[in-house]
Amino acid sequence: MVDSPLRANLFDEQRVLVTGGGTGMGLAFATAFAAHGAQVAIASRNAEHLEAGAATIAAATGAEALTQVVDVRDTESVAALATTLKTEWGGLDVLVNNAAGNFFAPVAEMSENAWRAVVDIVLDGTFRVSQACHSLLRKGSNPNVVNIVANYAWGSASYVAHSGAAKAGVLSLTRSLALEWASHGIRVNALCPGVVPTEGAKVNLFPTPEMEQMIVDTIPWGRLATADEMALQVLWLAASDYVTGECLVADGGQWLAGNPFYTLGRQVVD
């Protein structure tokens, strides 16, 4: 973990759920919350990822994470997660919708299953989990939701159109929920993280050093982001008591210069 400018007990007695929390950025988010005093729950489709993620959180913070295998594409699975949280905690203070999937595929050749695989996780999954956790969040202290988007949500997403459409939907959903749930005392924001070299991103989006360098070349700040850096942005959004309906962009200025997916995608699929 990076050194944090936030006080160590900032999230004492707070209950935090992170979907996709067994690996990558989700695990960094959960670890950072635990390091700042929160009780954390991580959800993933993969039991092995949850076991390893909980061990990582324990080693880094001494905290014991609540874990549950969940498929955000399945309403009953999501409902079971909400039931567990109600039984174990009685309420929820922070929800981080981080579960995602992405891979290169041109629209002309994309199967409906490929489209659905991403949209059902990213957009529909965010809807399902948010809705299922609504009543729990209403019982929380400074309750809020942080949705993870991408900097192509408001521009083009060449060769990753399924992800772009889903992330754009999540951004719109974020702002809609911010208005609908303000009267319920629930804030809803989004984080647009920079490119983090997680294992999943390396395999699906930039599998070679040359492709990784192409991404770096599009970032004015001159380097990729780290998961720990992005975790601090999530913590800031979760701690704020007045910001809602906002999208915090923390991508090293990449969106100003233009995302690289058109160039990368052509190399992969052409």
Please state, in angstroms and rounded to a whole number, the distance separating the CA atoms of residues 19 and 234.
13
Q: Is residue 9 part of a domain?
A: no
Catalytic residue among 152, 159, 242, 262: 152
Inter-axis angle of helices 24-35 and 47-61, nearest 10: 30
* Run means of pLDDT, 10 residues per run, the chain, 270 residues: 84 98 97 98 98 98 98 98 98 98 94 97 98 98 97 91 97 98 98 91 82 89 95 97 97 86 66
Q: How many domains does the structure of the chain reveal?
A: 1
CATH, residue 231: 3.40.50.720
Amino acid 164: pLDDT: 96
pLDDT, position 177:
98
Q: Is residue 8 part of a domain?
A: no
- Residue 4 located in a structural domain: no
pTM value is 0.94
In a domain, 159, yes or no: yes
Phi/psi-derived region of residue 23, left when phi > 0, alpha when psi is between -120 and 50, beta in every other case: beta
Question: Is 145 inside any structural domain?
Answer: yes
Q: Does residue 262 have an active-site annotation?
A: no
Q: Could you tell me if residue 25 is inside a domain?
A: yes
Tell me which residue range forms the domain holding 53.
Answer: 15-269
pLDDT at 4: 86
pLDDT given for residue 263 in this prediction: 67
Q: Does residue 112 sit within a domain?
A: yes
Task: Tell me, yes or no, whether 107 lies in a domain.
Answer: yes
